[in-house]
Amino acid sequence: MGAVSLRCGRRMGTSCIAENGQVSIKATTYAPSRLRRLSSDERRPRVVQLAVLAFVVLVLSAPAHLRAEIDNGQLPVDPPPRAASNEPPAPRARSAIVVESETGTVLYEHGADERIPPASLTKIVTLHLLLDELETGALSPGEAIETPAEAAWNLMPAGSSLLFISPGMEVAVDDLLYGLAIASGNDAATAVAIELAGGVPEFAQRMNEHAASLGTEVTEFVDPSGISAENRSTARELARIGMQYLEEHGAEIERLHAAREFEFPSRRISGDTPSRVFPNRNVLLELMDDADGLKTGYIGASGYNLMATAEREDMRLLAVVLGVDADNHQEGGRKRAEYARDLLEWAYDSYTLVRPSAPELPDAQVWGGATREVPLVPARSSVPLVLPVEAVAELRSEVEVTHSLRAPVDRGVPAGRLRLLISDDPVAAVDILPGADVPTGAGARARLERAYLGITDFFSELMLR
């Protein structure tokens, strides 16, 4: 901090302002006055007045109770503000939601809590649990799994999307991943369930435990593929599931979900079995350059569903569209993709992700410590915020910090708050912490400061009685 100047009025009881360009601390000072000799009766009340006056000055001068406010005005942000967009597109599905994946900010919703069978969006959870096994080393991508008889393609319910695996067929784990993400094979989902949990009911229990761990209340799965109308969820809870998938397995998005086609069986273990080429059913990949996933779904009880994601200017959005009505698969695939595209484009035009950095903070004085000052740091170096584009220019910060601390100082105990505001309305807050622990000092200065603070505490308590 720079040099501090002191401005005071000339009359007794006027205010002094300590100034250094950023911080102002207000206290009251008292000037000496000419005294005449007083009688003993006159002296007693005057002595009382002087004692009270001395106490007030002592308390006001105790730095441990002073706080400083810094108003840093508008913050520079990247990207710069741009013009606001129009209204969101009219609803074209039973349910829809758009969220920013990093912060979870909801940018749009329509009927987001309506219970609708997720259909093959269910396979996002199956994929999640299979990828978890790969990350722990329990399975490897090239490892071959023998297809159990219960997962044979010809045993799947009518209307199933299939990978066409046969009993005893060896399938690489990587092919099962593609078979879930692109071919959306219900036989592949069944094979994964049996491999990981020993059976479909047992795997469904694991799926439900995973969903519940994310705070879902409605979602319940009865199979790993989503073919059953008894599976249930909402657009809001599926968005939560999708965000967790993106957070934990985002590195697989480009490889698994943005691929335009998939050939199976793979040449590694296909033998003499003829291969098929499975196209990616997510039409959004053709309609929107920034789109790179995520999963399609359809059963008669739900209509056409899509969990869509795209990334632009460091902001990843996730849209869940449930219950698009159409006369055939081609029309349904196109309509759900067009609706998701329109929602995502509107959201990108209307909102932006900013990461304002904390302003420079003053050091805090430490009373009774081994050191006299300690730096102050925000608990997070930057705070991601999703804001309407027209509001970015109004973003400003306000900092309230404790000017002085008492030793011992614990770096985990907040010493202030950084608030981010738009038009005086708070939009985020971050704790300000001491940058280091400061133990109690053993020197003469530290002992004197502790004694001084003990006196101020005594008078403070006395006044409160």
CATH of the domain at 398: 2.60.410.10
Residue 65: pLDDT band with limits 50, 70, 90: very low
Q: Is 190 left (phi over 0), alpha (psi -120 to 50) or beta?
A: alpha
Residues 381-409 have a mean pLDDT of: 91
Judgement on whether residues 304 and 441 belong to the same structural domain of the protein: no
Co-location of 193 and 317 in the same domain: yes
Higher pLDDT, 65 or 42: 42
Question: Pairing mode, if any, of strands 95-100 and 106-110?
Answer: antiparallel
Least confident of 123-137, 189-203, 245-259, 270-284: 270-284
Q: Would you state the pLDDT for residue 454?
A: 84
Q: Within this chain, do residues 128 and 274 fall inside the same structural domain, yes or no? A: yes
In-domain check, residue 88: no
> How remote is the C-alpha of 283 from its chain's centroid?
29
Chain segment 287-331, per-residue pLDDT in tens: 999 999 999 999 999 999 999 999 999 999 999 999 999 999 999
Query: Could you tell me which residue, 69 or 228, shows the higher pLDDT?
Result: 228
CATH label of the domain that carries residue 230 = 3.40.710.10
Same domain, 28 and 56: yes
- If one compares 397 and 52, the residue with the highest pLDDT of the two is 397
- Residue 56 pLDDT > 80: no
Residues 419, 329 share a domain: no
Q: Beta strand 67-74 with 95-100: parallel, antiparallel or unpaired? A: unpaired
Tell me: do 227 and 372 sit in the same domain.
no
pLDDT tens digits, one per residue of 109-149: 999 999 999 999 999 999 999 999 999 999 999 999 999 99
Nearest to 233, CA basis, from 125, 114, 127:
114
> Considering only 46-50, 172-176, 347-351, which range has the smallest mean pLDDT?
46-50
**Res 197: pLDDT:** 98
> 112, 365 in Cβ contact below 8 A?
no
In a domain, 87, yes or no: no
Classified as helix, coil or strand, 427 is: strand
Q: At what angle are helices 200-213 and 123-136 packed, to 10 degrees?
A: 90
Domain for residue 90, yes or no?
Answer: no
Q: What is the rounded distance in angstroms from the CA atom of residue 371 to the CA atom of residue 196? A: 57
| 329: in domain | yes
User: Does 10 map to a domain?
Assistant: yes
Tens of pLDDT along 405-461? 999 999 999 999 999 999 889 999 999 999 999 999 999 998 888 888 888 888 888
> Could you give the CA distance from residue 64 to residue 453 in angstroms, rounded to a whole number?
8
Q: How many domains does the chain have?
A: 3
Residue 119 forms part of a structural domain: yes
Give the mean model confidence (pLDDT) for residues 58-63: 46
Domain span at residue 168 reads 95-352
Listed residues 305, 323, 352: the one ending a domain: 352
Is residue 48, in this structure, part of any structural domain at all?
yes
Domain C-terminal end among 296, 324, 352: 352
pLDDT of residue 1: 36
Share of the chain above pLDDT 90, in %: 69
pLDDT given for residue 84 in this prediction: 53
Look up the pTM and report it: 0.79
The pLDDT, as a whole number, for residue 29 is: 30
Structural domain includes residue 458: yes
Indicate whether 236 and 348 sit together in one domain.
Answer: yes
The verdict on 231 and 298 lying in the same domain is yes
- Domain closes at, from 352, 381, 400: 352
Q: Determine the Cα–Cα distance for residues 216 and 118; give it in Å rounded to an integer.
A: 14
Is residue 83 a contact partner of residue 68, using CB atoms and an 8 Å limit?
A: no
Q: Which of 81-90, 238-247, 421-430 has the lowest mean pLDDT?
A: 81-90
Give the 3-state secondary structure of residue 14.
coil
Q: Mean pLDDT across the chain, nearest whole number?
A: 84
Tokens of 413: 């105990």
Predicted confidence band of residue 265 (pLDDT cuts 50, 70, 90):
confident
- Among 231-240, 254-263, 399-408, which is the least confidently predicted range? 399-408
Q: Please, which residues bridge with residue 398 across strands?
A: 71, 419
Provide the pLDDT for residue 269. Answer: 54
Average pLDDT, stretch 272-287?
Answer: 91
322 with 333, same domain: the answer is: yes
Query: Is residue 298 domain-shared with residue 415, that is, in the same domain?
Result: no
What is the per-residue pLDDT across 71-85, written as a single tens digit (0 to 9) for each?
444 554 555 555 555
For 180-220, write each residue's pLDDT tens digit.
999 999 999 999 999 999 999 999 999 999 999 999 999 99
Q: Which helix (H) or strand (E) holds 173?
A: helix 173-181
| 337 shares a domain with 379 | no
Please indicate, yes or no, whether residues 155 and 211 belong to a single structural domain of this protein: yes
* Percent of the chain surpassing pLDDT 70: 80
What SS3 state is found at 20?
coil
Q: What is the DSSP string of 347-394?
A: HHHHEEEE-PBPPP-PPEEEESBSSSEE-EEESSSB--EEEEGGGGGG
Q: What are the strands of the beta sheet with 364-367, ordered from one edge?
A: 373-374, 364-367, 404-406
Report the pLDDT value the prediction gives residue 36, as an integer from 0 to 100: 39
Amino acid at 205: Q
pLDDT band at 463 (very low <50, low <70, confident <90, very high): confident
